[in-house]
Structure 1
Amino acid sequence: MNEDKVEPRSTEKKSLGKWVQSHFHPRPADDDGPQDWWVASTAIPLIAATSAPLANLMSIIALVMPWKSKLLGRTDSSGAQVQELMRDPRWCIALNATSLACGIAGNIFLLFNFTRTMRYIIALPASIILWCLSTAILIGITAATHIYDSPVPPDETYSQAYWSAVIAAALYFLLTVILMINMWGYVRGHYPQYFALTDGQRTLILQTTAFVVWLLIGAAIFHAVIDISFADALYFSDVTILTLGYGDITPPTSVGKGLVFPYAVMGIIILGLVVGSIHDFARELQYDNVVRKHVERKRQATIQHSISLEPGSEAPHLDFTPKNLRKSGKRSTIDAFSLVGRPKVLIMREEKDRFDAMRAIQYETVLFRRWYNLVLSLIMFGIVWTCGAVVFWKLEDITYFDALYFGFCSLLTIGYGDFTPTTNASRPFFIVWSLISIPTMTVLISEMSDTIVLAFKHATSVFADWTVLPHSGKYRKFLRRFPTIYAALQRREEKRRVAQGFHVGVDDAENGTSHPHNSSEHPPARSIEELASEPDTASGNASGAASSGFQLAQQLAYAIQRTTKDVVAGDPKRYSYEEWVAFTRLIRFTDPSPDRVEIHEDDYGILNWDWIGKTSPMLATETEPEWVLNRLCESLIRYIDIQARNASTTRDEDEPTLRKQREIRFEDE
């Protein structure tokens, strides 16, 4: 009978264990495998770390001020009613302090998690539990106050501290929920047990913490100097740093006015750092998780389109991946075609087509990234603006249109001062809303500068080129499209030159010899036939003719000098196909691979690539000058290494001859 009782329990344990193993796959901290759920793994921890200090700030206001106030029946210069704060019961203060302590402790555990001072599996549940306790305590005391100790209207009302506690409870609850989502992603095995944040993202956490601390310092200072409540002092500090300047609260004394100078300057600097870091973080996430996927989709679609255009179903000669090239023992895509007897001109035409296809994907991606960022910023701006207007419409005695007007003027930091938050509920909400909305507006303006402003600037430049500031040869290039008109103008120009004593004919400038694009730094565009007729130096190596090797080494040094200038200039330059052909020859002429066996990457770096494949330079995170400079330097290292080995071999071969000469000289002596 005992066995009959134990067997069902053991079966339940086994089934439960199988269920847990099938649904939960936690990964260790040293797991470097692929990660998904990028919002949960990266964005959520950063949102939690930057929002937690703001929740602590609201909780501090709820602690240092009473939750009820008595209306004195008059208004101040800002239009707000003058109030007298009432004392809170001791149990409310004690529970409020406990909630603040739990909130700060949860923030500390989260920071320990970021710095990996404490294990993820310990620190994250601790933050979740502590913030959950803070939420529960704040909800409990606000509900108890409303039920058992609510203000008696019309002379009493809730102060800003009460509404700050409500906002703090909402923020703590939001933090708890998003961290639970992050925890769920970990136990499901979507990412390992640590926060994979970059140095810039960690810096953003420190900057937001410093900004909140600076707001608290300003609130403490102006609370004492201007003689206003702590909540109003925090509101004044926020308005000052955000450069809104409503004028509803101003420092009346010389001491207060003098303190505004250093406080505003330091606050604006910290705010600028925070906004810049938020902008960089948003762009980084979009590039890694949206733009790169867009490029990959376009690249795969282009490859499939190229394959579908080929006669036959397989089209094996279009598979340019280094893996397949290594299997076939071929050195590069050009050599792969050469070995099957295809003309070099046709091969280079197909290479040029692949180059142009990838360049088109690049240009399309730039437009996609710019407009995607702009549309996303507009959506975020619209949500923050309209939802904030709804709250101000309900909290203030104004229409919804006036609330939209007030929110728009605040977002643009115009600050007319005709509408300002005056009620006890709207000012704490305004502090949180402004700290979210102003950076959103700044990012939107930045994205507009990358799209609309850039397009307007380009349009004005084109207009200036054709009107008030024409470039040299601008009209000549346009008139070449009309041979009859251009020939007549040429004859007129020749007659004028004869009358003035100049040579008849086209001068060097018109021939293009003095054109800047035809100099050594900007080679002229050449046809595929001209490029194919040049000797293929990539198929040889540095052990060939000495004069050819030294000449290529000299060209390699000049190319390194040129690309270094392009890198230092900081302009994201893109090279033409003709320039890439020249760079490719200089990179591959030092290829040490024996018997024409393809080596995609050796000890010194990348040797071969495919324009539209995953190894394309156009998919690199570096700029094209940086990528080319690295490959050229690797080629120079290979050249020096080969020359050193050749010199060592020559010394070894000459050693017997030198030894014999020394012996003959010794016998003669």
Structure 2
Amino acid sequence: MRPPEDDEPQSWWIASTAIPLVAAATGPLANVMSIVALVMPWRSNIISTEEGPAGNIIQKGYPDPRWTTALNAVSLVCGVVGNVFLLFNFTQTVRYIIALPVTIILWFLATGILGGITAAMSVYSPPTAPDQIFSQAYWSAVIAAILYFILSIILMINMLGYFLGRYPQHFSLTDDQRTLILQMTAFVMWLLIGAAIFQRVLGISFADALYFCDVTVLTLGFGDITAHTAVGRGLIWPYAVIGIIMLGLVVGSIHQFAREVHYDNVVRKHIEEKRQSTFNRSINLEELHAARENPSNGGKDVPAPVLLRDGSVTAHYKHHSHQPIRNALRASRRPKLLVMREEKDRFVAMRAIQYETMRFRRWNDLILSVIAFGIVWTCGAVVFWQLEEISYFEGLYFCFCSLITIGYGDFTPQSNAGRPFFVLWSLIAIPTMTMLISQMSDTVVASFKHATDKVGDYVVLPQSGKYRAFLDHFPRIQQAVQRRQEKKRVKRGFQVGAEADEEAEPETNRPSSTSGPKEVDQQHSSHNDPSHDHPHRTIEELARDPGPSPFELAQQLAFAIRRTTHDAVDSQHKRYSYEEWAEFTRLIQFTDPQTRPSSYSTSQPRGGEGCVSVDSDEYGVLNWDWIGENSPLLAKQSEPEWILDRLCESLIRYVSTQEQSRATGARGVDAEEATLRKEKDLG
């Protein structure tokens, strides 16, 4: 077993993260069902088969045996206290090794008590058919017993992972996940408060009032239970608004939790597998050249270069003897253009992994949401098929209308077993449907929008140059169109050829003769301002650039900070090209005394065999590898945010360096003055 806190990796992420949150979110629902089972009789007399104010048959409960009520109260206390200890466990008020066993034991006791009294009731004091039936309270007790049992089992799985040393003795939940627990508890309490109010206002049972509040907050609006008085209708307004807001918070938190857990444990694992595969196969051209010319390896283990689709060079080793290659690499001097081309290959390879992972995440999330939706939909239809005496197709139709929140009202839960189950099922199904719609907006809806935008560019609102760019893919059609245009111009008396092209040049591409000197100066000043976006230079131009002075680099650093700040605020999904990254990298590295100001290199092989570590000092990160473990393209921050942090670190290094230089100069002046005084005294 591991201590309460450690930095070791955690496995069994479902048991360590998902299970505690599911238990904390579902535990209050089990308590609600226990409350319904306590405040109402378990058996009812059928007064009339006609539809009453609650939308079902008119029935009235009669008292239960005292032992049933007493044991029912004990089970409710066990369930609530177990839930309280679980919350204490989350807040670390009570130790894990104490709080979790207490929760499990109490919930098992609640399960045993509810299971025992429901079985005893059905055997020794069952309702007499056909004039008597089990009420919604009885079936609520059955549902509560099942929930307590399931939650106890999954918490035992969590405890098993702790005993096996898979994670420390605490729930690894974030603040947002703990907020979800509080939001779910508050939402359930709101349902109970509404049930207590509308029970008296509408003149219905507590269970029917709970069902009414659930249908209202979920915006289903079946219409089987409605408010007929002014007081009831007036109370619906604030109750529904507050309830919908609370439900939205809960659904948003559940969606955020699902995305975080899926990203941390599935998507990042997918990224790491792709990155490690690319890293193991990648090697730059200079390493190949150095390995072939280095005699220390005896001509063995020379990799055969293979060109990847993205332009990167890979090699495969039969034996992993990288150290001779690294020694030869350190002794070699590579041209800057070659270094930048190799780095760009690694950058493009990592960018390809990034885009592939983005597609994987979106479609994987969509597939999982569709599977969850299918399970909730079909399994719910099976239960309502058995409880409501409808066909399976009608059950599918009813569940679908409920999931979409259409709520036609032609099919509604009528049985005493169906309504408590619907309350539980709907609180699980509606968030599932909401998450599915959210995932569809990132994939299916985005694809449809992109397709409609493309069609609109050509049909509805044609964009300038769209047809010309399309015809560029068909040279023969383009030539035919050009010949036809030339014939029309000849008929109208216009010239054809280079002179005509020169005359037809748009005036916007030439300096205006009517422009004043002030306007021309403003145009040139806007292009000369380093803070403005300038045309991106090619990799060859960057390699030939001798590099500005340190003062100019410091000035560019300030402008780059302003630019990345603007990008970070305006666009969280901004992605820079390799050439832009190269310029940012120079501004990050020029403040390092060991880095040449003109160097564009960003991936220096350092560290042990088979890995490239991030080089950093006391002020922050200096060097990295594009396909290394700490690649900027794998950061949780957006690219503008990551670069902005590094630029600020570079600014801090620059200020510190200037301060040290000033202090060193002052000490030199003091030493010179002391020497002059000493010579004067000796003279």
Query: Do these two structures clear the TM 0.5 threshold for a shared fold by scoring above it?
Result: yes
2:195 is aligned to: 219
CA deviations 1:354-405 (Å, max 9, x no partner) are 1111111111111100000000000000000000000000011211101100
- Aligned pair 1:576/2:587, yes or no? no
Q: Distance in 2 between matches of 1:572 and 1:39?
A: 30
2:462 to 439, 451, 470: 470
2:337 is aligned to: 345
Q: Using CA pairs under 8 Å that are at least 6 residues apart, name the structure with larger relative contact order, 1 or 2.
A: 1
2:17 to 24, 42, 54: 42
1:529 is aligned to: 540
Q: Distance in 1 between matches of 2:623 and 2:485?
A: 48
**Residue 472 of structure 1, CA deviation:** 3.8
- Aligned pair 1:394/2:386, yes or no? yes
Q: Distance in 1 between matches of 2:481 and 2:509?
A: 17
What TM-score, normalized by structure 2, do the two folds share? 0.84
Q: Distance in 1 between matches of 2:134 and 2:117?
A: 13
1:365 to 357, 368, 376: 357
Contact 1:57 1:212 in 2 (8 A): yes
SS in 2 for 1:607: strand
- Aligned pair 1:631/2:607, yes or no? no
**Residue 649 of structure 1, CA deviation:** 1.4
CA deviations 1:133-187 (Å, max 9, x no partner) are 0000000100110110000100000000000000000000011100100111101
**Residue 638 of structure 1, CA deviation:** 0.7
- Aligned pair 1:87/2:77, yes or no? no
2:104 is aligned to: 128
Contact 1:390 1:400 in 2 (8 A): yes
**Residue 499 of structure 1, CA deviation:** 12
Q: Distance in 1 between matches of 2:105 and 2:660?
A: 66
Contact 2:589 2:595 in 1 (8 A): no
Distance 1:413 1:594, change over 3 A: closer
**Residue 495 of structure 1, CA deviation:** 5.6
**Residue 478 of structure 1, CA deviation:** 4.1
SS in 2 for 1:30: coil
Unaligned stretches of 5+ in structure 2?
A: 293-299, 305-312, 512-522, 607-613
1:553 is aligned to: 554
Contact 2:531 2:559 in 1 (8 A): no
1:417 is aligned to: 409
Amino acid at match of 2:543: A
Describe how 1:440-459 pairs up with structure 2 within 5 A.
Answer: 440-459=432-451
Amino acid at match of 1:35: Q
1:182 is aligned to: 158
Contact 1:71 1:83 in 2 (8 A): yes
Distance 1:510 1:475, change over 3 A: farther
**Residue 475 of structure 1, CA deviation:** 3.8
1:592 is aligned to: 593
**Residue 525 of structure 1, CA deviation:** 4.4
Q: Distance in 2 between matches of 1:489 and 1:639?
A: 63
Which deviates more, 656-665 or 200-209? 656-665
Contact 1:389 1:400 in 2 (8 A): yes
Q: Distance in 1 between matches of 2:269 and 2:534?
A: 35
Q: Distance in 2 between matches of 1:496 and 1:239?
A: 75
**Residue 297 of structure 1, CA deviation:** 1.0
Distance 1:501 1:398, change over 3 A: closer
Describe how 1:4-19 pairs up with structure 2 within 5 A.
Answer: none
1:148 is aligned to: 124
**Residue 347 of structure 1, CA deviation:** 2.2
Q: Distance in 2 between matches of 1:57 and 1:510?
A: 77
Q: Distance in 2 between matches of 1:306 and 1:502?
A: 49
Amino acid at match of 2:20: P
Distance 1:474 1:497, change over 3 A: farther
**Residue 435 of structure 1, CA deviation:** 0.3
2:93 is aligned to: 117
1:278 is aligned to: 254
1:8 is aligned to: none
Q: Distance in 1 between matches of 2:574 and 2:539?
A: 23
- Aligned pair 1:105/2:81, yes or no? yes
Amino acid at match of 1:124: L
Q: Distance in 2 between matches of 1:396 and 1:490?
A: 74
Contact 1:68 1:85 in 2 (8 A): yes
- Aligned pair 1:613/2:614, yes or no? no
Distance 1:286 1:418, change over 3 A: same
Q: Distance in 2 between matches of 1:560 and 1:504?
A: 42
Which deviates more, 455-464 or 100-109? 455-464
SS in 2 for 1:461: helix
Q: Distance in 2 between matches of 1:466 and 1:659?
A: 81
**Residue 72 of structure 1, CA deviation:** 1.4
Q: Distance in 1 between matches of 2:117 and 2:380?
A: 27
Contact 1:337 1:347 in 2 (8 A): no
CA deviations 1:495-517 (Å, max 9, x no partner) are 69999999554666499x9999x
Distance 1:145 1:503, change over 3 A: same
**Residue 486 of structure 1, CA deviation:** 8.4
1:254 is aligned to: 230
Contact 2:366 2:436 in 1 (8 A): yes
CA deviations 1:545-596 (Å, max 9, x no partner) are xx81110101111100000001111431100111011101111111123899
**Residue 299 of structure 1, CA deviation:** 1.2
- What RMSD in Å do the two structures reach over aligned CA positions? 3.5
Q: Distance in 2 between matches of 1:566 and 1:486?
A: 42
Distance 1:118 1:79, change over 3 A: closer
2:221 to 245, 252, 262: 245
Q: Distance in 1 between matches of 2:22 and 2:620?
A: 39
